[in-house]
């Protein structure tokens, strides 16, 4: 494969856009080579400007559960576009999409739409703080909740310690209210609740973490979180921007019995358009302006074109309840194929599947938290990624990202990807 046009395009982008990209992971810093510039997608494939074709296991980082250019979603968007791009006034499509979401969850009475996952989580945290009249929040190392200030936190010196900013530009004063705990380890959370007794507004978690590779929380851990939040009057927030309508129709709640107080969504609910949402029971949502005192707003929130895409996508998912079983079967087949190839070559690999999400680490031991994830062989992953790309398989360009199967990812594509992985693993064995 040649990437000549993409290489030139990247250089040109570099001149006018920092790092040549509008979101850092796209720059391929975690792997070898330059990012292909994408011209178009079709079903389970994407095509770059050099004319290369790839089986797409990124799906725009999750949103495209029906693949590229799904006809029904496309038609819904076109119909909406013809009526006008935005009004900044109420439209019926917002109520329709909100109703679809609310009808799936017993404890979610109302949702508000925003334009990104970052905004959804940022607003949910503000609401949790406003509702509980407390400032401190607990998050987990390795979970990503968008790039708002109080969530850009890394571990300080101790374990259950106050977080320090993970980026210049974030005042330490803001992250002081964010406690950092260890995924799948309730003892650290317990320590947080002792250290900050009566001050913790909420615990926020990706119940199926997809931003340190795919690392699900155990059922026992989620239950312990539920219990400790109840004991201390703190809210439990499930950030399901990635896993919502991806791991199952109900996200984590299709797999686990643990019910959160608040939820956030993004990605699939916009089907590729910029949409985020957060929801909770009526009592909590009543604190949000204009009903209540917690301010939150957005000029393009509930944008009719984005709502149309999300609505078409969610209605299709609800009308075809078998989708997730089919997707999970394919994802499992893919990971079993990779695993078998790696095992045959004595290359240490662990894999994970949740619905249409999959993940792999070049690691000899299971991964249940971020520290373990960081032990993965990133150099081997970079070589694997490059080998797969050269063979027409587009995987997420970092060993800390999940992969995605869409309904347009056929069994043939899965078999082809396994064949290419087997070749690539042989090539990179040493």
Ligand X SMILES: *Cc1c(COP(=O)(O)O)cnc(C)c1O
Concerning whether 56 is annotated as a catalytic residue, the answer is: no
Specify the stretch interacting with ligand X by CB under 6 A; choose among 31-39, 179-187, 238-246, 251-259: 238-246
**Per CB under 6 A, does 117 bind ligand X?**
yes
Q: Is 118 in the site for ligand X (CB under 6 A)?
A: yes
144 forms part of the interface with ligand X (CB under 6 A): yes
Q: Give, in order, the Cα–Cα distances in Å from 166 to each of 152, 161, 333.
A: 5, 14, 37
Who's near 125: CB < 8 A, 6+ residues apart? 137, 148, 150, 151, 201, 202, 204, 237
Nearer to ligand X, 52 or 248 (CB): 248
Nearest to 20 by CA among 30, 3, 34, 32: 34
Smallest gap from Cβ 363 to ligand X, in A, equals 21
Active-site residue, 14 included: no
CB 231 → ligand X: shortest distance, Å?
Answer: 26
> Does residue 211 interact with ligand X by CB under 6 A?
yes
Considering the rule CB under 6 A, would residue 241 count as an interface residue with ligand X?
yes
Looking up tokens 């373990």 gives: 372
Q: CA 174 → CA 124, 135, 179, 196, distances in Å?
A: 16, 10, 11, 16
Q: Which residue is nearest to ligand X (CB)?
A: 117
Residue 213: strand, helix, or coil: coil
Site string for ligand X, 33-72 (x = CB under 6 A): ----------------------------------------
Of 110-118, 194-202, 320-328, 353-361, the segment contacting ligand X by CB under 6 A is 110-118
Q: Given the complex with ligand X, which of 43 and 119 has the nearer CB atom? A: 119
In sequence order, what DSSP letters do the residues of 45-104 get, joined into one string? EEEETTS-EEEESSGGGTT-TT-BT-HHHHHHHHHHHHH-S--SS--HHHHHHHHHHHTT
| Nearest distance from C-beta of residue 399 to ligand X, angstroms | 16
Among 9, 98, 111, 121, which residue interacts with ligand X (rule: CB under 6 A)? 121
Q: How far apart are CA 3 and CA 35, in angstroms?
A: 9
User: In terms of Cα–Cα distance, which of 364, 355, 343 is closest to 402?
Assistant: 355
Based on the shown chain and the rule CB under 6 A, indicate whether residue 242 belongs to the binding site for ligand X: yes
Q: β-strands 153-154, 136-140: how paired?
A: unpaired
From the CB of 264, what's the least distance to ligand X, in Å?
Answer: 7
Distance CA 248, CA 357 (A): 10
Q: Is 139 a catalytic residue?
A: no
Q: Which H or E run contains 126?
A: helix 117-132
Q: Does 206 bind ligand X (CB under 6 A)?
A: yes
Query: Counting contacts by CB under 6 A, is residue 239 touching ligand X?
Result: yes
The reply on whether position 401 binds ligand X by CB under 6 A is: no
By the 10 Å C-beta count (0-12 exposed, 13-18 middle, 19+ buried), 194 is classed as exposed
Considering the complex, state which of residue 41 and residue 146 has its C-beta at the smaller distance from ligand X.
146
Please count the residues of this chain forming the interface with ligand X, following the rule CB under 6 A. Answer: 15
Give the residue with the Cβ less far from ligand X, 242 or 317: 242
Q: How far apart are CA 178 and CA 214, in angstroms?
A: 23
Q: Is 238 exposed, middle or buried (0-12, 13-18, 19+ CB in 10 A)?
A: buried
Task: Evaluate whether 279 touches 285 at the Cβ level (below 8 Å).
Answer: yes
Q: Looking at 48, 56, 70, 239, which residue is catalytic? A: 239
Taking the complex as a whole, the smallest distance from the CB of residue 242 to ligand X amounts, in Å, to 3
Question: Which of 45, 56, 139, 267 is flagged as catalytic?
Answer: 267
Residues 68, 112, 129, 145: which binds ligand X (CB under 6 A)?
Answer: 145
Q: Which residues make up the interface to ligand X (CB under 6 A)?
A: 116-118, 121, 144-146, 206, 210-211, 239, 241-242, 266, 276
* Enzyme catalytic residues: 144, 239, 267
């Amino acid at each position: 494969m040649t990437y000549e046009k993409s290489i030139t395009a990247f250089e040109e982008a570099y001149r006018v856009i920092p790092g040549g990209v509008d979101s850092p992971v796209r720059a391929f810093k975690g792997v070898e080579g330059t990012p292909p510039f994408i011209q178009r997608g079709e079903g389970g494939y994407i095509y770059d400007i050099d004319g290369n074709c790839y089986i797409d296991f990124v799906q725009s980082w999750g949103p495209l559960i029906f693949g590229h250019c799904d006809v029904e979603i496309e038609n819904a968007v076109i119909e909406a576009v013809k009526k006008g791009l935005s009004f900044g006034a109420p439209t019926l499509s917002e109520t329709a999409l909100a109703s679809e979401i609310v009808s799936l969850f017993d404890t979610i009475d109302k949702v508000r739409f925003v334009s990104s996952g970052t905004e959804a989580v940022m607003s949910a945290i503000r609401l949790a703080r406003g509702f509980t009249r407390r400032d401190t929040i607990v998050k987990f190392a390795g979970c990503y909740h968008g790039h708002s200030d109080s969530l850009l936190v890394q571990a300080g010196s101790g374990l259950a310690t106050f977080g320090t900013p993970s980026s210049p530009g974030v005042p330490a004063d803001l992250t002081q209210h964010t406690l950092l705990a260890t995924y799948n380890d309730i003892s650290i959370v317990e320590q947080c609740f002792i250290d900050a007794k009566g001050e913790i507004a909420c615990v926020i978690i990706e119940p199926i973490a997809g931003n340190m590779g795919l690392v699900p929380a155990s059922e026992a851990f989620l239950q312990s979180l539920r219990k400790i939040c109840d004991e201390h009057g703190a809210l439990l927030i499930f950030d399901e921007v990635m896993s919502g309508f991806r791991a199952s129709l109900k996200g984590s709640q299709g797999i686990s019995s643990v019910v959160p107080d608040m939820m956030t969504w993004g990605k699939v609910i916009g089907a590729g358009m910029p949409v985020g949402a957060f929801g909770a029971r009526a009592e909590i949502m009543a604190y949000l302006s204009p009903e209540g005192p917690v301010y939150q707003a957005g000029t393009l929130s509930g944008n009719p074109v984005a709502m149309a895409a999300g609505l078409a996508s969610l209605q299709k998912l609800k009308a075809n309840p078998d989708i997730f079983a089919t997707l999970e079967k394919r994802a499992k087949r893919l990971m079993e194929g990779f695993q078998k190839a790696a095992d045959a070559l004595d290359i240490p690999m662990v894999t994970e599947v949740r619905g249409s999400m999959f993940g792999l680490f070049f690691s000899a031991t299971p991964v249940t938290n971020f520290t373990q994830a960081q032990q993965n062989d990133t150099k081997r992953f970079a070589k694997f990624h490059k080998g797969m790309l050269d063979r027409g398989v587009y995987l997420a360009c970092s060993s800390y990202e999940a992969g995605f199967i869409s309904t347009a990812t056929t069994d043939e594509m899965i078999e082809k990807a396994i064949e290419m992985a087997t070749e690539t693993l042989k090539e990179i064995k040493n």
